[in-house]
Structure 1
Amino acid sequence: MKDKIMSIDYYDCIIVGGSYSGLSAAMALGRSLRKVLVIDDGKPCNATTPHSQNFITHDGKKPAEITAIAKHQVEQYKSVSFYKGFAIKGRKLDEGFEIETKAGDKFGSKKLIFATGIRDIMPEISGFSECWGISVIHCPYCHGFEYRESKTAIMANGDLAFHFTPLIYNLTKDLVLITGGKSTLTIEQTEKIKQHNIPIIEKEIVQVIHKKGYLEEAIFKDGSKIPLEALYARPLFEQHSGIPVSLGCEITEQGYIKIDNMQKTTVPGVFACGDNSSFMRSVANAVSSGNMAGAATNKELSEMEF
């Protein structure tokens, strides 16, 4: 006997994650008359960020405001439903997938889209997490303009540091590079940075002093300190949901869900979009990838039914 879903609500697609990419995917599917369930616990990773930039038509708005507008618009498509909660389990069935929530509710679908994002792992630096997304920032395109010509540091080493340095130097010349220990920059990279009078500090930050998330100075392990208004950093991260891996989705060396150019994962019928599958962490990218995931999912559903 086939392992199928009989007594639970069944959808064309379940979208796990209801922020920018998930809502974008839901809109594409809703406009295609698909029965969709969006499961989301209402805790986006950018909740501490005061404003969102570099997203055309919404530049400077609060992230929660953008999400509220997006959800209101998606709700106009009556084939899309919403469930507030956290998805904890997923399994493959002969005729689709099953998702179980923390509350014990179960739902079935023909296709899955994971718009689950990633979880940042804060370093053991006092004050760092309180400043994350405010003045300790990850992206010059999302935040750099607001901190142009400010006292700025890059906390990185090796190739990542060298990648960041010219981008940030374009925005401010009041710049230092903090490698967090012995530099792993090549001789050529080091010479290039020093040609632009950018100090390289081979020390470890142990604390940042701030007021309500806005930096004032960084304190090093040896007790020395420097004044700072902005600190660029790329902390470690992990997938926010373990369900994709449990279903067999392949993860890249960088820690992202592996996808093709149609947002398809390595598991047939499963798609991923947004931060969980792209190093480009931005609202604009999340919306774009979600739109593609929705369209690609509808294409597969249409071909199955034709």
Structure 2
Amino acid sequence: MKKSNKFDVIIVGGSYAGLSAAMSLGRAVRNVLIIDAGKPCNSQTPHSHNFLTQDGQSPGTISLTGKEQVLAYETVNFITDEVLLVEGKNGCFFVTTASGERFEGKKLLLATGLKDALPSIKGLAECWGISVIHCPYCHGYEYRSQPTGLLLNGESILEKTKLIRNWTSDLTVLTNGHAVLGNSDRNVLLRNGVSLIEKPIILLAHNKGYLDHVLFEDNTKLSVKALYAPPAVEQQSWISEKLGCRMTSAGHIEVSNFQQTSVPGIYAAGDNATPFRSISAAVAAGSIAGAFINHELIDEGG
């Protein structure tokens, strides 16, 4: 990395949104620093889908290729470190890292992503992103027409089953205990051919992340090839809140159509600022953020 600790833009988070923004900024001949802690939430997902030209590639391969292409621009720099503190204001932000480095940037882009709060069921974490999945658009095609479970409870069951049945009619809802579901909703599931199991789950049996069956507390089993498990999520980093960025009711950073946060000079892109969690969406948001950061710098005479 160049000796100067001053940059036009500091990007916190070097996955898809951060790299995409850096490419836009690098092509605009901006001095950019990407700081990444190396903790992507999709680290064990074998394949990424629904991304034109990259369908079926591993997320790690996409990220590595992106990094190589971005760092070909001589004004873009990348370090592996964790950001602990951000201070300052528009035109002069100071970023301090875990290694004790301190950098200055005119603009700040938060591309820090989210982290998943997975249910504490034995075997689930090992299957996450492989056969325990969250999005049918990302993974449903590979498990089409296969025996499938939906780990969910509450009023959103009907909406989710309606969606997933587009990919498979062999669907069972697992509520991991008593279902919070009225009789009319139970009848809807029955009419749609969706089974309901309310037994507590003690284990997801798998082979290297690929499901074999679900084991219940009463020692009965359900054979499934895939299990949808929409997780609770939280911000990977709370820097945005500490900086005073407004948050949505769902816990995302509130941004404009140009990825601007409520704090002047600070932008956000990727999973941390949208409910649409996909690599393609993160890349698009990063590209928009990079372009509009450059426009803002131009308008300010930078």
- TM-score category of the 2 structures, normalised to the smaller one: over 0.9
Contiguous gaps of at least 5 residues in structure 2: none
| Cα deviation, residue 136, structure 1 | 0.3
Is residue 90–residue 106 contact of structure 2 (8 Å, CA) maintained in 1?
no
Q: Deviations over 1:32-72 (max 9, x none)?
A: 11111000122211110011111110100111111111111
In the other structure, the counterpart of 1:4 is none
Indicate yes or no: 2:146 matched with 1:146.
no
1:126-275 aligned at under 5 Å gives the runs: 126-275=122-271
Relative to structure 1, the CA distance from residue 165 to residue 98 in structure 2 (aligned partners, 3 Å threshold; closer, same or farther) is: same
Q: 3-state DSSP class of the match of 1:305?
A: coil
Is residue 92–residue 247 contact of structure 1 (8 Å, CA) maintained in 2?
no
Q: 3-state DSSP class of the match of 2:213?
A: strand
Q: Deviations over 1:3-55 (max 9, x none)?
A: xxxx9711111001111111011011111111110001222111100111111
Contiguous gaps of at least 5 residues in structure 1: 1-6
Which of the numbers 267, 283, 289 marks the counterpart of 1:287?
Answer: 283
Instruction: Kindly tell me the number of residue pairs found equivalent between the two proteins.
Output: 300
Name segments (4+ residues, structure 1) moved above 4 Å: none
Aligned equivalents of 2:185, 2:293: Cα separation in 1: 44
Q: 3-state DSSP class of the match of 2:156?
A: helix
Query: Percent of counterpart pairs with the same letter?
Result: 46
| Cα deviation, residue 159, structure 1 | 3.8
Q: Deviations over 1:141-185 (max 9, x none)?
A: 111011111110011123432222122111111111112333334
- Amino acid across the alignment from 1:133: G
Aligned equivalents of 1:263, 1:274: Cα separation in 2: 9
Q: 3-state DSSP class of the match of 2:67?
A: helix
| Cα deviation, residue 188, structure 1 | 4.7
Which of the numbers 75, 90, 95 marks the counterpart of 1:79?
Answer: 75
Aligned equivalents of 1:180, 1:24: Cα separation in 2: 40
| Cα deviation, residue 253, structure 1 | 1.7
Is residue 21–residue 288 contact of structure 1 (8 Å, CA) maintained in 2?
yes
- Amino acid across the alignment from 2:97: T
Aligned equivalents of 2:92, 2:178: Cα separation in 1: 51
Is residue 215–residue 222 contact of structure 2 (8 Å, CA) maintained in 1?
yes
Q: 3-state DSSP class of the match of 2:244?
A: coil
Is residue 132–residue 228 contact of structure 2 (8 Å, CA) maintained in 1?
yes
RMSD value, Cα: 1.7
Q: TM-score, normalised by structure 1?
A: 0.93
- Amino acid across the alignment from 1:174: D
Q: TM-score, normalised by structure 2?
A: 0.94
Moved more, 132-141 or 43-52: 43-52
Aligned equivalents of 1:186, 1:255: Cα separation in 2: 29
Is residue 91–residue 107 contact of structure 2 (8 Å, CA) maintained in 1?
no
Q: Deviations over 1:198-228 (max 9, x none)?
A: 0122233221111100111112233332111
